[in-house]
Structure 1
């Protein structure tokens, strides 16, 4: 993944988007690496700091948000924006420890989930104190799935747990950020529905300016 980030195939961080610019900070990557395996952390950091460029954390597929056909389900597009997981299969790989919660969480943020579902997402994380090994199937993906339901990835509580109450950790109070995600989904849908020649121009433009 580090070799990819240093290559010409990697899109630059989108500094024109406030959320992307915030996540593009190296300090954010360092924090992610403390709670996730390095490759998973790098995928998440890349996806959150690019407007349309994505690397699936599960299968490492390289794609953009405007690659999808016009009839792609809205919740699949939302999930690609939220977590970068590129398909239902990859989402199920990340959520296999809690399939019931996964069905509800698919394409949704924390504020759209009830307390019971949010609690079930805890099953996606390894038991406290458990050691993660690079060879474990889906290592870190469950934690990534839960983190990406939060607009700040839960980093606020990670950094200052005593100052951030549990109700803030749910992310349900960030209506402005939720509206930003909705606006981005609508913008991507507009780009995706454009004629092929226009989409090609848009993709080239995003690559040069993202």
Structure 2
């Protein structure tokens, strides 16, 4: 059975409309649009005294070994907008770091950065990586306004004065804010 030019034109128009509609849907992002964040913050680590915000929770098994291999430290570091005690608190970095190798910087870190304040209050970044003098952590997830976050945090110790240290955190992340209301209406 032969197709008439009129039927062929109708099929082409309908196919073109469907493809155009699908492209329009995929590029309009009514329910999921990534946003980028570039932010420099500062973690305040206090390893001793009455204001300490990290505590060794598991000592190394081999106490004669000076590497501290196997030690686990629990932390609740304050994250500030400036590397000074009076800086504005932006978040807390809560989690653990484990001495996972013999070198001085071989601390594996797993933590949640829990944000405070008007914009990201209660939202989190989930972080993993090696903590040494300078390095990089992976942002492997996020919650709240920072849902589905991924990216990196370049970190470096900028002030080291026992028992208090400041670590600069250069954050580069992409996240997907909640963009749909309960009525399935896109919000922006």
TM range (shorter): under 0.3
Structure with more strand by fraction: 2
- Relative to the length of structure 1, the TM-score reads 0.22
Structure with more helix by fraction: 1
